[in-house]
Amino acid sequence: MRFLCQNLLKKHKRTFTLVEVCLVCGLMCLLVWSSRHVYLLYRAILFSSAIDQVTAVCHGLVHQARLTGADMTLRIIPPASYSIDTNPVVNLPAGIMWGVGDAVVYGPPSRPTQKVRAPVVGGECEDGAFIFTWQATGARTPGTLYMTGGDNRYAAITLPRSARGMVTLWRLENGGWVKR
């Protein structure tokens, strides 16, 4: 009896129906279609976290200079690195760099009247790096840092001249700079 049941099961192998095959193909197409959107979302989150990181570093340097009374230095090293004082170099995530690339962007963010051509406006230039120094009384070298993340994502970080001024983050949206 057992042998007979096994033979019957072997003869009636289950096959996929047309509906099941169409369902699997549809799910695979949906997965391929959504992967581009997930990748773009990933790039947007990566860019947002990079500009937030640099903004937080600038805020921290202003605060530390006020508390310690010592000069704090930020070195912007194009195309995609920075360092704080004598600490090791920090690289920005892949695809994110200083500047605006080949795009036509007007700045400074508070009064956009001129085309942005340099990755950094202001600061002291030394060995291809832009140096910003904060003292207890405020930034000795104010300026604007421009960043791009590709896919038409641009940001600017303005560094204050006065001790009471705030480091401001700007994003380019719909052709105009918006404070964040």
Average of per-residue pLDDT across 33-58: 91
Cβ(137)–Cβ(163) below 8 Å: yes
Q: What are phi and psi of 139, to 5 degrees?
A: -75, 125
pLDDT in tens, 112-134: 888 888 899 888 888 889 999 88
Question: Which pLDDT value is given to residue 107?
Answer: 85
76 CB contacts (<8 Å, ≥6 apart)? 82, 98, 119, 120, 123, 129, 130, 131, 132, 145
Cβ(75)–Cβ(83) below 8 Å: yes
pLDDT in tens, 22-41: 898 999 998 888 888 888 89
Q: Is pLDDT above 60 for 3?
A: no
Question: Which pLDDT value is given to residue 9?
Answer: 56
pLDDT in tens, 153-174: 999 999 887 766 788 999 988 8
Residue 55: CB atoms within 10 Å = 17
Q: Is pLDDT above 90 for 145?
A: yes
List the chain domain ranges.
Answer: 19-179
Q: Which CATH class is domain 19-179?
A: alpha beta
Where residue 11 falls (left for φ over 0; alpha for ψ -120 to 50; beta otherwise) is alpha
The torsion defined by the Cα of 88, 159, 172 and 95, in degrees rounded to 10, comes to -10
Q: How far apart are CA 74 and CA 24, in angstroms?
A: 54
Give the global pTM: 0.79
